[in-house]
Structure 1
Amino acid sequence: MDRERRPQDLDLLSAQRRQVPSRPRRRCTGRHHDGAAHPGQGDGIGNPRQLRSHRQDGGGRRQHRALHTQGSVRGVGRHLQRSAGADRSARQARHAGPPIGSGPFKFKSFVPGDRVELEKFAGYYVPGVPQIDQVVLRIMPESAARAAALETGEVDLVWDLPLESIDQFKKNPNVVVDSVATSTWDGIIMNGAHKPFDDRRVRRAVLLAVDKPAMVELALFGQGTPTHTMIPPGHPFYNNDIKIGKPDLVTARKLLAEAGYPNGFDLTLYTPVGRPTRERAGLAMREMLKPLNVRVDIQRVPWDKFINEIEGKAAFYADGFYSRPTIDSSTYPWFHSNGSWNTTLWNYKNAEMDRVLDAARAARTEAELAADYKKFQVLALEDPPGVIAYVLNHINAYRKNVKGFQSSPMMWLDLRKVTVQ
């Protein structure tokens, strides 16, 4: 940490990209897509690289708010003031200036490749908030450097702790590891616009070959939960009547034979470089398909090429998305035939699924919603567009001199009530 830093200042860094807090519209988990920063991995809050994100159907990619960062502290918005009568050059000049927001912190400075500095906004509408005077968002792309910075006290908090560092910090008496369940998910995409995935029997056979609890261990080192869809266990609309059991290879082989593939087939599975959970999920998928004689070749693709040439275009690939704030924005864009992500991800069409999701949007009671979304999960397993094996935990680590911090299931970095002793 900076040696002359005041105790009420806070140095942080992020292990990966994070999702920006949603305004009255944006469901989280824009695309995470990666969720930009499930959100580009290996980049810190404050990372100047601007990763793609879109807003579509209230559930587009994990959105990236460009304060030249991959993520933002809750309350630090990018609401630039605009005048309808201003000319083009004036608008451009305002966009080039400091961001103007209404949150608890305001922009102070940005050093490309190094840090973003924020300072307390004394005019914040909540009395006594925030309680720290300054936040320094450090840019440290390497996970080893982030871990070392936290261990030595150079930084106070690491956002989105790399899974491989968890055990190390759980043994450190000066560090707290804080974990919360989310609805962020990774998936194995089966693009229905390509053979053999234009046949629902093939897609279901692939799903039946997956050992979801094993996938959690292999891809997430146990830091997640098996699930039917992106609706996580513990959600009031999660379908507990469906049990997550062992792979059903007998039924899977029968379905492949009926679809004309009694001897299996060859596939290429694309995984994005730098997204370690998805890379490991791809490797696990390859092994789980071997008993069906489905022979999978793994191709690792750089993120920019993955976005431009693989996502929505290839037949078989690993992808992922951050949590959304509402169940509709978590499901409809992906599973409805007119959904924004469906048409750019896996080209899934199921008339009954459309009917159920439309009914859920029209539901007037919690009971109706629960029934519709439980039916949604049944349909998603009977006719799957891909494999959603798990939802991830969001994990942060901070030194014990940091008080009042709590991890958010939406992966927000909320520092409004944080103090540093």
Structure 2
Amino acid sequence: MAVANFRLKAALLTGSAMLGLAMAQPAAAQKVTIAIGGSVTSLDPHFYNASPNHSAAAHFFERLTEFDSNAKMQPALAESWKAIAPDVWEFKLRPGVKWHDGRDFTAEDVAFTIKRAPDVPNSPGGFGAFVRGVKSVEIVDPLTIRFHTPGPYPLLPVDFASLFVVSRHAGENAATEDYNSGKAVIGTGPYRFSSYTPGNRVQMTRNDSYWAGKPDWAEVDFRIISNPGARTAAIMSGDVDIIDTVPSSDIPKLRQNPKVEVTSIQGLRLIYLAPDRSRDENPVFVTDNDGKPLARNPFNDLRVRRALSMAISREGLAERVMEDTAKPAGQWLPPGTYSYNPDIKPLVQDIDGAKKLLAEAGFPQGFKLTLHTPNDRYPNDAKTAQAVAQMWTRAGVQTTVEALPWSTYSVRSNRQEFGVRLMGWGSLTGEASYALVNIMGTYSQETRFGANNSGRYSNAELDALTLKATGTLDDEEREKLLQQAVKVAMDDVAIIPLHQLVNTWAVRKGLQHSPRMDERTRAIDLKPAKG
């Protein structure tokens, strides 16, 4: 049977190749200190699909498949995989892999992970979408496992690159609290759990028995420094070895600092706005110009969504707010990626056109709203929201901004407590279905769609296209369907795209850092200075 995934052809044939994780033996025990801006909300790797959580968990846990720094598929805990029937994938697991407590990694652990991942209690945005293609699991032997799908499903290995595997013996009766305490943090990864202080740091020690080779660093201090200025001060003072989400305004002085190097790569993360579509009446944080509640939700009117999108100067955001560390976006993938639609361009600001659409929608005098944003999650997130608010106000929608810490914001957003929210989404698979399923798919626990669809957008036509595309084996035909789905989503203003980030880090001089398109910040991507 022909292999049917644009990223997997080489991997299917040479899947026994080692991951690009093999690490040089250190000359002496060393410690590395990492500082990230986003808050790690849990060490339960199935609790919340958010980049800071992924970055921390990747030190302890691993996936069956993995993306390298350029979003190319690699084998990880699975040595190889192939479709042995139109609706059956067979994965061969890597032999000799041990859990941190010395037990063998087997297919039983993978089967347990598939069962656990979509059903973690109180998850604010979980992992159900990554197992939606699994109808049943068949364990052939301890190192061979088969996944039966409802029909042809070429993206299963891609989905698994977002799903950490946990041990059955440690996780079977474990709650999220057991992972946060460290009790259940028994992984196969390069580092072992030492301690976790929510909102502050995660500390870890080297796993000397790691299957891919002894890690470089004896200790890792993984710190959370949410204030951008404080992160910059920490790297300049030498208090930390690397920081992520470098403030754009600080990049020039960091480049001039002889003790610091700046690394960057075009990212896969879109910064976008998501209007609330979860209610038809009495929308939250939206009123008329006198502050009185609106009877109907204006965001359910396509003309209003188009007007809000049309009122935004994306060039202005990218150039002035982001200081050229972002690119204006009209869709959620950057040019050159698989399923990017070249016919969809970023909208050009048109204030008069926006006012006209608002009048046609029954709001000739506009209305009032509050735009909610995190203030410590994405580069210039609150500044971006303030700039958008000014643009919307010019178009007649009087907008105020409420900025919140990510730890609070993320929970409230996923409870549909906001009228319009600023969000980010990294399409780490490098193709369109990742966002179509997770942030634009109609929310459903049954279908596993919409796990991160905080605005509760719903479009039956788009869902049908997504299902058709993800069930299409032919790469070219699947890309055409995905491009069609991108057009449907953007024509309907499923989300309001703003810009795509360029991922930037500041690193202590002499250390070797491999920047990643998926913006993960990990100790294994940082090599000690030579000599």
Q: TM-score range by the shorter chain?
A: 0.7 to 0.9
Alpha-carbon distance between aligned partners in 1 of 2:129 and 2:191, rounded to the nearest angstrom = 30
Task: Please state whether the residue corresponding to 2:130 is helix, strand or coil.
Answer: coil
1:366 CA drift (Å): 1.8
1:155 CA drift (Å): 2.7
1:99 aligned partner, one-letter code: V
Unaligned ranges ≥5, structure 2: 1-25, 61-122, 133-160, 284-296
**1:120 aligned partner:** 206
1:218–1:281: 8 Å Cα contact kept in structure 2?
Answer: no
**1:58 aligned partner:** 130
2:336 aligned partner, one-letter code: G
Alpha-carbon distance between aligned partners in 2 of 1:30 and 1:216, rounded to the nearest angstrom = 29
Q: Does 1:325 align with 2:429?
A: yes
Q: Which has the higher contact order (CA 8 A, sep 6+)?
A: 1
2:473 aligned partner, one-letter code: R
Alpha-carbon distance between aligned partners in 1 of 2:298 and 2:345, rounded to the nearest angstrom = 27
Alpha-carbon distance between aligned partners in 2 of 1:221 and 1:58, rounded to the nearest angstrom = 35
2:129–2:451: 8 Å Cα contact kept in structure 1?
Answer: no
Q: Does 1:355 align with 2:450?
A: no
**1:64 aligned partner:** none
2:524 aligned partner, one-letter code: R
Q: Does 1:374 align with 2:483?
A: yes
Query: Over residues 50-90 of structure 1, what are the superposed CA-to-partner deviations in whole Å (9 max), with x where a residue is unaligned?
Result: x9553232399xxxxxxxxxxxxx9xx88455179x9899x
Alpha-carbon distance between aligned partners in 2 of 1:286 and 1:94, rounded to the nearest angstrom = 38
Pairing 1:246-265 to 2, within 5 Å after superposition? 246-265=348-367
The RMSD of aligned alpha carbons is 4.1
**2:265 aligned partner:** 180
1:343 CA drift (Å): 8.2
Count of residue pairs the alignment pairs up = 384
Task: Please state whether the residue corresponding to 2:516 is helix, strand or coil.
Answer: coil
Q: Does 1:130 align with 2:226?
A: no
1:347 aligned partner, one-letter code: R
1:116 CA drift (Å): 4.3
**2:243 aligned partner:** 158
**1:105 aligned partner:** 191
Query: Over residues 209-254 of structure 1, what are the superposed CA-to-partner deviations in whole Å (9 max), with x where a residue is unaligned?
Result: 2221212234433212222222222313211222335223444333
1:268–1:299: 8 Å Cα contact kept in structure 2?
Answer: yes
Q: Find 1:198's aligned residue among 300, 305, 316.
A: 300
1:201 CA drift (Å): 1.2
**1:82 aligned partner:** 169
Pairing 1:4-15 to 2, within 5 Å after superposition? 9-15=30-36
2:381 aligned partner, one-letter code: R
Q: Does 1:314 align with 2:422?
A: no
Task: Please state whether the residue corresponding to 2:243 is helix, strand or coil.
Answer: strand
**1:242 aligned partner:** 344
1:397 CA drift (Å): 1.4
Alpha-carbon distance between aligned partners in 2 of 1:261 and 1:184, rounded to the nearest angstrom = 33
Pairing 1:378-397 to 2, within 5 Å after superposition? 378-397=487-506
1:197 CA drift (Å): 0.7
2:438–2:453: 8 Å Cα contact kept in structure 1?
Answer: no
1:114–1:139: 8 Å Cα contact kept in structure 2?
Answer: yes
Task: Please state whether the residue corresponding to 2:216 is helix, strand or coil.
Answer: coil
Query: Over residues 69-124 of structure 1, what are the superposed CA-to-partner deviations in whole Å (9 max), with x where a residue is unaligned?
Result: xxxxx9xx88455179x9899x9799754732222233345678875443333322
1:207–1:386: 8 Å Cα contact kept in structure 2?
Answer: no
Identical aligned pairs, as a percentage?
Answer: 23
1:391 CA drift (Å): 1.8
Using the size of structure 1 for normalisation, the TM-score is: 0.76
1:293 CA drift (Å): 1.6
**1:63 aligned partner:** none
Inter-CA distance 244–270: structure 2 relative to 1 (3 Å threshold): closer
Using the size of structure 2 for normalisation, the TM-score is: 0.62
2:55–2:520: 8 Å Cα contact kept in structure 1?
Answer: no
Task: Please state whether the residue corresponding to 1:284 is helix, strand or coil.
Answer: helix
**1:68 aligned partner:** none
Unaligned ranges ≥5, structure 1: 61-73
Inter-CA distance 145–251: structure 2 relative to 1 (3 Å threshold): closer
Task: Please state whether the residue corresponding to 1:398 is helix, strand or coil.
Answer: strand
Q: Find 1:292's aligned residue among 395, 398, 410.
A: 395
Inter-CA distance 56–6: structure 2 relative to 1 (3 Å threshold): same
